[in-house]
Amino acid sequence: MHDFERDLGQAEATLGRSVPHIRQMLDELGLDTSPLSAIRELGNWIGAKRPELRRRNEAIQAVVSDWGTDTTGGRRPFDETLFNLDSSACWIV
C-alpha cells in the first residue's frame, strides 16, 4: 500500500507538470484542449485520496503485524469498521 500511495503521488506530480505543457502545445496547434480537464480532475482526485490511503495503511499496519500470504491464495478482508475508518473494508493481499 505504501508503494502504491507513493506511485500515486508520482502520477499526481507528473500530471501537474505535464498538463500545462500539453495544453500550451495544443493551443499553439489550434486544437481543442477541453479533454484535458478530465486529466486535471484525475490529478485532483489522486491528491484528495492520497491522505485517506496513507491513513488507512497506517491503521492496517498498526493492527496487522504479519503480512504473509492468505492461506486460501486470495485476498482477505480487513474490517475497517473496527477501527473507526470511513470505508467498510479494504483488502490485505
Q: Report the candidate in 49, 44, 51, 38 with the shortest Cα–Cα distance to residue 16.
A: 44
Helix (H, G, I), strand (E, B) or coil at 90: strand
**In the Cβ-directed half-sphere of 41, how many Cα atoms lie within 13 Å?**
5
Kindly report whether the global pTM for this prediction surpasses the value 0.75: no
pLDDT on residue 42: 92
In order along its 93 residues, the chain shows pLDDT tens digits of: 778 888 999 999 999 999 999 999 999 999 999 999 999 999 999 999 999 888 888 887 777 665 555 556 566 666 666 665 555 445 444
pLDDT value for 92: 45
Identify the pLDDT of residue 73: 59
